[in-house]
Structure formats: C-alpha cells, structure tokens
Amino acid sequence: MLGLGRAMGETIAAALVIGSALGQMTLRPLAAGNSMPAVIANEWGEADDLHKSALIALAVTLFVITIVVNLVATGIVQRSMKRAQGS
C-alpha cells in the first residue's frame, strides 16, 4: 500500500513522459495520456487565479481518491486477517 500510495502521487516522472493530453479521454495505454499530479506540476507555473483554484480542486480530488483506495485496501486486509486467525 505504501508503494501504491507513492505511485499514485508520483509527480515529476509522470509529468516528463506522460504526454499531457488535454480534453480527450482515451483508454488506449499507448496513446498520450495524463495523470492528476502531472497536470498540477505542469500547469501550476503559468496558472492564473481561477486555473490555480481548479488545480487545487484537482489535488483535493486526488486526496479523496487516495483515501477511498486506502479504505478499500484496509478493509480487504482486515477481512483476510480475520479469516486467517479464524476468530
């Protein structure tokens, strides 16, 4: 889970190679795409007020998604631990 957390938050590595495609969502893994931290990193430098607020809202969304993923993972771990302990 620590690894997943770090991967979801990876900023600069993604920003350099992900291709920063805006506006077209695609599921093709080989097409240029984007990731939330990469967008924040790339567009922060030139963002004006409204744009910055949008980027911060994106950061909050990422935060919420991270919490949800962690909740689910913790639930799975606890359930499997209960089963292993046979309580």
Partner 1 sequence: MSKTSILACTLAVLGLATPLAAFGAGTTLNGSGSTLSKPYQETAIEEFKKLNKGLTLNYGGGGSGKGRQDLADMVVDFAGSDSPYKEADMAKIKGGEVLYFPILLGPITVSYNVEGVDKLHLSADTIAKIFQRDIKKWNDKAIAAENPGAKLPDADIVVAHRADGSGTTQNFTEYLNGAAKGTWKLKSGSTVEWPSDTQAGQGNGGVAQIVKSTKGAIGYVDLSDAKASGLKYASVKNQAGKFVEPTTAAASAAGDGIEVKPNLLFSALNAKGEKSYPITCQTWVIVYAKQTDADKGEAVKAYLKFLVKDGQKLLSEIDYAPLPKSLQDKAVKQLDKIQVPKPKAP
Partner 2 sequence: MMELAETADISAAATAAPIPDLTAKPSWRSAKSTIMTGLMVASVLAVALPLIAVVWAVLARGFAVAFKSFPDFFIQEIPTVARRAGPGMGPAILGTLLVTGAATLIAVPLGVLGAVYLHEYGLNNRFSKLVRFMSTVMSGVPSIVMGLFIYVLWTLRFGYSAFGGSLALSCLMLPVVIGSTEQMLKLVPHHLREAAYALGVSKSRTILTVVLPAALPGIVSGSLLAVARAAGETAPLLFAVGAANEYNPHLFEQANTALSIQIFGNATSSFVAAQDRAWGAALTLVLLTFVITLVARVFTAHIASRR
Quick note: the x/- pattern for partner 2 over 59-78, rule CB under 8 A, is: x--xx--xx-xxx--x----
Is residue 9 close enough to count as binding partner 2 by CB under 8 A?
yes
Q: Cβ–Cβ contacts within 10 Å for residue 14, how many?
A: 21
Provide the residue count of the chain. Answer: 87
Distance CA 37, CA 61 (A): 11
**How many residues form the binding site for partner 2 (CB under 8 A)?**
26
Q: From the CB of 15, what's the least distance to partner 1, in Å?
A: 7
Torsion sign, CA atoms 26, 29, 31, 35: positive
Q: Which residues bind partner 2 (CB under 8 A)?
A: 1-2, 4-6, 8-12, 16, 36-37, 40-41, 44, 56, 59, 62-63, 66-67, 69-71, 74
